[in-house]
Structure formats: C-alpha cells, structure tokens
Chain A
Amino acid sequence: MNPRLLKPSPRTVPRLIIGAFVLGLLVLAAGKQLPVHLLISDSLVRTGMNGILVLAMVPSIQAGLGLNFGLPVGIICGLIGVLIAVEANVSGLAGLALSVAAAVPLALLAGSVYGRLLNRVKGQEMMVGTYLGFAVVSGMCVFWLIAPFTNPILIWVIGGTGLRYTTSLRHLFGGVLDNAWAFSLWGVKVPTGLLLTFLLACLLVHCHSRTRGGMAMHAAGQNPAFATASGVNTAKARIQGATLSTLLGAIGIIIYAQSFGFLQLYLAPLMMAFPAVAAVLIGGASTRQVTVGNVIIGTLLFQTLLTISLPVAQAVIGSDVTEVIRLIVANGTILYALTRLDGGGQ
C-alpha cells in the first residue's frame, strides 16, 4: 500500500490507547520485578505466530469485502493441510512445506466459492462471513469424526476412529521456523525464522497491491462504480480478494500450529477470526482502508498486550483477569471500528 494513503484520522485512536497501555504494562512489569526479557520473547513469538492470520484481512478489506470474519474457512483448509502432512509422517521443514502445498489448492477452491457467496450478499459481507465461519466450523466437526485418517497419533486411542481434539506436532515440525536462525539478545530469544516468514508474507501482499491485478482489486473495493467504468470486473475482483484472504488464512494457521506445537481441531477455529480482526483494527485499519503497516503494528501491539497482561495482572491484582482483558480489548476494538464504518472518510 501507498504510504500517502495513510493519513492521521480517528483510526489512530485505538492504536494510541493500546500503545500507551502496553507501555504502561511494561513499566509496571519492570517495577514488579517480573522477567521482562521473557515477556518480550513471548510477545515476539506470538506476533509471528498470529501475523499471517492478521495479514489475511488485507486482501479482504482492499477488495471491499470488509473484515474477513469468515477466516475459519481458510483455517479449516490449513488444518486439513497439516493433517495430510502428519498422516504422511513427514517431519521438519519438508512437513511444513507439504502442509502448505496440500492446503493451497483447497484454500483456492474454498476461497473462490466463498467469494461467489459474498457476491450474492453485497453490503452484508461481514455478517454473512461470521455466520458462514461458524457454520463451516460446526459442519467440519462431523468431518473430523469420520475423516479417513489412520495415523495413530491423530485418532482417538479408544475406539480407533475419529480425529483427536489436539495433536502434538512436537516430533514432526513443531517449532521448526521458531528455532531457525534463532538467537538471543540481552536475554530476549528472537524467533528469526518465524518473524522472517511473517515479513516475507507481508512483502508479498504489499507487492501484490502494486501489481495490475492488485490495483484493479483495490479500485473495485474503494469505488465499485469507478472500477466498472474503467473496465474492471468487480465481481471477479471481489472473488480474488476472498480467495487471497482464505489462502492467507490457511497458511496462517499452519504457521500458527507449528509455533504453538499443537494442531487443534473441532471448535478451536470457531473464534479465531476475532483476535485477527481486533489486531488489524488496533493497527489503524478501518473496514475500508488498510495497509500492511497496520497489520505489523496491530499484531505487535495486540499480542504484546495479551502476553504481558497476564503476569502483570497477577502481580498487581493477584488474580487471573487476562481472559477478561483479552475479551474486552478484542471485542471493544471491533465494536469501536464497526460503529464508525467510514473510519477513513471525511
């Protein structure tokens, strides 16, 4: 995205508030003698882990579909990709690559179907996306029970059919990116491979928005009437946006799973769109305008907040209120952004 389009607006408000809050928490943590370097390490890991899921919001917003609340559609494709790699027992970077390779065609297919659906509900993409995501996750719960996977680490120990809720990836490719070229600096462990993967994905998305197709897609999102009058097929551009977003969702969950070390099925993807949406909004995006910079800043702020608020809250209040804070911040930000749909307007 062009930095010239990034202008100061009310959209920077959540970014400033959250930024000040995160700084305050860090100071408090230091004051309470908490291990600040460990907190920062964790924040970096969580940023890289969630980054691509947040990045998935960019093509969706650019194509005029708003925030992609239907992100679970892509996440499911990514989960199937990982399952295929685990079933084949491929470990290390090869396993990760196989997961991605298996997930990509599924995501392209699912994304184009999703885009076609959104073309039928113009103006209500975000609400339809939310419920489509819920429906797909619930529907897939049946699939996980009957899916024809046979690797014993995937299926229930008792009974012998159906996939487990959680599968450890530790012995296959858990943490391969986190540990690649990792180094420590002043006690802070930097997950170099993971962060580089995130930044590479950001670069690719940024480059896409400078190509002819990317610019046509962006114009279709900003002003469909203008784009049509300039010969852009807006229906196709919107499908392109939904497909790219779904694809990034699929790759995002694979990177997430390798860093987390576990593959989570069934209802785990149900709410995964919400933290991603909140992060990009905190970064300064609106439902109509977004830059890759919004994604990087937003993910960093939001994930740092989540990481350090737990120990700090425990130290200060003496009880665990992290989950409450996480919900207030995530849903509060989404609410704020949705009440000002034209955040970038006059």
Chain B
Amino acid sequence: MLTMRGITKEFGGVSALKNVDLTVEAGQIHALLGENGAGKTTLLNILFGMPVIRATGGYRGTISIHGVPFSPKDPSEALAAGIGMVHQEFMLIPGFTVAENVKLNREPLRHASLGRVHPSLHILDRPAMAADTRQAFTSIGVNVDDWMMVAGLPVGHKQFVEIAREVDKHGTKLLILDEPTAVLTEVEAAQLIEALRRLAARGLGILFITHRLDEVLACASQISVLRDGELVACLPAAEASLRQLAEVMVGRPVERQPMPPRGTVTGASLRFEGFSVEMPGERVTGLDLEVQAGEILGIGGLAGHGKLGIANGVMGLYPARGQVSFDGEPFRLGQPIEALSRRIAFLSEDRRGVGLLLDAPIDYNLAFTSMNIEGRFLKRPLGVPWLTWRDSRGMRTHAEALISQLDIRCTGPDQAVRRLSGGNQQKVCIGRAITRQPRLLFASEPTRGIDVGAKSLILDLLARLNREAGVTIVITSSELAELRRICDRIAIIYRGRLARVLPPDASDADFGLAMAGRPPGGDL
C-alpha cells in the first residue's frame, strides 16, 4: 500500500537518511526500530509533509500510496491521502470531552437558521457525535466513555482517544504511531498492542515506531531497522530474534582510543543506593551503582530511561532521594552547594542553557564557579575583609593559561562565548571544571552538537584529565561508540535503574539487550 523508495535526506550536508526503502502492506503491522538519532523521526516527517523538511531543502526518492505518487507539501495533504498520525505528545484539548476531541472540526451538524449567515453557526449534533465516538472505540476494542473530560483521563486512555480520532476519520488507510508505548504502563501497552492487531485485521496498514524490542516481536509482522540513517535490516518478524535485532540496532565498528598511562589517582568514589531523581523525561527510580575512584565510568541507555537524571540529581538541580556516599562519607542531596563544595564538577548536557553565560566573556565563564564557591579571583581593594572585589587581572591570566592549555580557538579571553563554536564552548566548560580542581567530573553528552573532528579532541581531553590528573570521570552519552572508546566500564540504564555494567569490549548484542532491559543471552 505505502511504498517509499530511495529516500535520502540531508540536513546542512549531514545525511540523516541514506537510500531508505520501506513498504507497508494493508493489514500489516510494520515496526520501525532504531536508536535515538537513527532517522526514524525524519522519515516520519517526510511522510507527513512536515514543513521542516521543505525548509531544509526537501528530500530525494519517491513515495507512492496504492501506486499513486505522493509528495506531501504540508500535513493536510498527508491527511487527505489517508495517513493518520498518533503523536508522541498528546494533541488533545484537555477541557473538551472525549467525543468533542474525537470529532473536533469534523462534527456532524444540525442545521440552524443562523447557519445561513455563516456555516460555522450551525449547531453540533451531539447524539451523533457520541454515537460515532462509541463506534470508533468499539472498533479498537476498548471502552472509554465518550462524555468524559479528557483532562482527567489516565495516560493510556488519552492514547486511545488519539487512535479513535484517527480511526473515525473516513479514509484513514495508514496509521502511524510514534513511540506510542513510551508513556504507558505494561498493562496499557498490552491493551494498545491488542487494539493495533484488531485495526490491522480490519485492513488498516500500521507503521509502528519504537525502540522497545520485545513489543516489536509481540505485535509486528514485518520489522525494519534503521541505524545512522541507513536501513540495515528488513525481515519478517517470524524470522527475527531479540538478540539479532539488538545487535543490528546498536552494532557499529568501535575503535578504542589510545589511553595515556595511568598516574596517581586523586579522584573520589561515589556510591548510589536506591537513588531516585525527579527529572522530567529522565526519571531515575532506585539506582544502585558504584563509581570507583580514578576510573572513567560510562553511563549509556536509550533516551528517556534516566541516564541524564543521575548527574543532574547529584548536582542538586532536580529533586533527588536515596543514599549517596562520596569517598565513603554521606552526601547530602538536593543542594547544588554540597556537590560543588565537595569538588564535584559538572558538564551539563544543556551546554548553552546551563553550562555557559553566553553573553559574558571567556575569562568570566572560566572563573565564575570558583569565584562563587571558593572566593578565588577576588581581591580586597580597601583591605576591608567583607568587601570583596572582582580580580579582573587574575581572571585574565588564568584564562590565558587555560586557552593555550586546552587550545580554545578564540580572539582572546574577552570574547563572548556565544561567538565560539560548539567544540570551543565545550572546552570553556571543561576549563571551568578544571579550574575547580575537581575530584569527580560528570560529563553529560560531552560531544553533543559538536562536529566530528572536535569530538575526538573533547574525548581526548577527558581521557587525559582522568589518566594524568587522576580525576574520576562519569560520562553520560547517547552514543555508545563514544563510551566504548574511552570508558573503563559502561553502565546501561533501563527504566531508571541499572540494567547491567559491561566492559567496553562486550559484544554489540550484549549492549543492545541491556538497553532493552533484557538479561544477557536472553531471548523470548
């Protein structure tokens, strides 16, 4: 029914999709698997005619529906062609009832005399709306009351309302679900999969996007796997195994970075017991993990499973609970000052939002935390003990030293960091961390948004900081290959907890399975 041939898409010279072929048959549930950044969302955006695609230069390749060529310029064309989309974020109006949401803008009308003035003045035919809604829910086999307010519904039911809306649209032939189970409980997910099966049995084509391996095997009839924008596998579900899927999803060549010899360990250890962090979208729920003094520990896992929450929780930026000990001593959670005063440094994943004062110069960015915590780079001009003053010269000298040590490409210490490239901005962040003479450094997504050449420079800096200065480093990254390049051990986080700790040379399949929350060697 849907055929995509040779789909290629570039964003500013970086290719996001390379020659992807995809076919969805009527009555088939087709699962599209891939890590974060594999190109799943880009493919959907092309299919749905999202404006971002045209704004960035369009795509190459052909799409056809029932043999008719199709190249949507905006989402309304995709809707007209019979493509229904269930979004990751719910596109529902909370203050409307279920029926009003399902029938929104397609309401059956009763003619009223005012309607002659303008069609929008006709009256809604509420009994007909309710009947249509009930029929849509019957066809997906769930029971949601049509008169309920959407605001009060459980998350799973909201998802069903979205599906019912797409089903109710006459002419929906292909239903696309973008990670529909990400927010659902296991019971709700099972219910959803059941509903999808019913819809497929009625002849709808379903394209189901996810990174949960077990669900794919439970419901799909055909499975495609994307990796780095390429279609690396396309096979019937009956022939696939969990281990095989895990391997193709994460597998890519890994080259181990040559590491400098290990010097004296000055870093501290950190131990988590029942550690939980309330970070929206990255919740940690009861983590048990030990970071050994002087090692580089990698933290990996899929987006949304909580790997980013760990560092943010320790740094006191989000509410956290549980037992944490730093060098064997108890560590107080919830206050940034505790982590900072114990010389824990942090490179935030949100470099421009949290990591830098964009409009301030380099020297100020480098010195600020040390100045605020330890009172460095301050002088007492009048000899009064309580009157402390910015030591501009000291800041400048320090900045000049770091600029040459870290090779920060800039016009001088007084350049605003906004004007620097991503890699150099990250070096400024590392410089500020080094200024604190840290005993433990959290580096969250240290190479995100940095071009390939600068990536290895940043990783090399971190490796040297660990091996030469002996600092304990915890790197959190979505790029497994990068963790395997420099880490001593890699902890994989699944649903807010530790799934496994693996050596960097473990097999692709082991990493893939751990990310899917499966025991080693396990299969269905």
Q: Which residues of A contact B (CB under 8 A)?
A: 2, 4-5, 207, 210-212, 215-216, 219, 222-223, 225-226, 228-232, 289, 344, 346
Contact = CB atoms under 8 A, between A and B. Distances in A.
A65 B372 CA distance: 21
Contacts of B315: 229
Given A231-B336, A231-B369, A231-B372, A226 B389 contact: no
A225 B348 CA distance: 10
B225 to A, nearest CB: 37
B58 interface: no
B388 interface: yes
Contacts of B65: none
B478 to A, nearest CB: 21
19 contacts: A5-B360, A210-B389, A212-B371, A215-B371, A215-B390, A216-B372, A219-B357, A223-B358, A228-B317, A229-B315, A229-B354, A229-B369, A230-B368, A230-B372, A231-B336, A231-B340, A231-B372, A231-B373, A344-B359
The 7 closest A-B pairs by CB, nearest first: A230-B369, A225-B354, A231-B340, A210-B390, A231-B337, A212-B388, A231-B336
B273 interface: no
Contact of B356 (A5, A226, A231, A346): A226
Interface of B: 315, 317, 336-337, 340-341, 346, 348, 350, 353-361, 368-369, 371-373, 375, 378, 387-390, 414, 416, 418
Nearest to B370: A230
A229 B360 CA distance: 16
B interface secondary structure, majority: mixed
Contacts of A229: 315, 317, 336, 346, 348, 354-355, 369
B442 to A, nearest CB: 11
A5 B371 contact: no
B359 A222 contact: yes
B58 to A, nearest CB: 27
Contact of B372 (A207, A210, A212): A212
Nearest to A230: B369
Nearest to B414: A4
A287 to B, nearest CB: 14
Contacts of A222: 357, 359-360
A45 B200 CA distance: 82
A211 B389 CA distance: 5
A228 B357 contact: no
A255 B359 CA distance: 35
Tell me which of B355, B356, B369, B373 has the highest count of chain A C-beta atoms within 10 A of its own C-beta: B369
Contacts of B353: 223, 225-226
Contacts of A225: 317, 350, 353-354
Contacts of A4: 361, 414
A226 B359 contact: no
Given A212-B371, A219-B372, A231-B369, 13 more contacts: A5-B361, A211-B387, A211-B388, A211-B390, A212-B378, A215-B372, A219-B368, A223-B357, A226-B354, A228-B317, A229-B354, A229-B369, A230-B373
A151 to B, nearest CB: 39
Nearest to A216: B372
Contacts of A228: 317, 336
Contacts of A207: 389
A210 B388 CA distance: 9
A50 B293 CA distance: 60
B336 A289 contact: no
A226 B368 CA distance: 10
B372 A232 contact: yes
A216 B369 CA distance: 10
A5 B371 CA distance: 19
A330 B29 CA distance: 64
Contacts of A212: 371-372, 375, 378, 388, 390
A229 B349 CA distance: 12
Contacts of B357: 219, 222-223, 226
A216 B378 CA distance: 13
Nearest to B387: A211
A321 to B, nearest CB: 40
Nearest to B432: A230
Contacts of B340: 230-231
Given A4-B414, A228-B336, A231-B373, A215 B348 contact: no
A285 to B, nearest CB: 14
A5 B362 CA distance: 12
Contacts of A232: 372
A226 to B, nearest CB: 6
B488 to A, nearest CB: 26
Nearest to A215: B390
B369 A289 contact: no
Contacts of A5: 359-361, 416
Nearest to B367: A215
Nearest to B375: A212
A344 B359 CA distance: 9
A151 B147 CA distance: 70
A230 B359 CA distance: 17
Nearest to A225: B354
Contacts of A346: 418
A207 B384 CA distance: 14
Nearest to A233: B337
Contacts of B418: 346
Contacts of A211: 387-390
Among B317, B355, B359, B388, residue most surrounded by chain A Cβ atoms (within 10 Å): B359
A215 B389 CA distance: 10
B379 to A, nearest CB: 10
Residue of B337, B360, B387 with most chain A CB atoms under a 10 A cut-off: B360
A212 B377 CA distance: 10
Contacts of B358: 223
Contacts of B414: 4
Contacts of A344: 359
Contacts of A216: 372
Contacts of B390: 210-212, 215
Contacts of B346: 229
Nearest to B388: A212
Contacts of B368: 215, 219, 230
A228 B369 CA distance: 10
A5 B356 CA distance: 15
B372 A289 contact: no
A219 B336 CA distance: 15
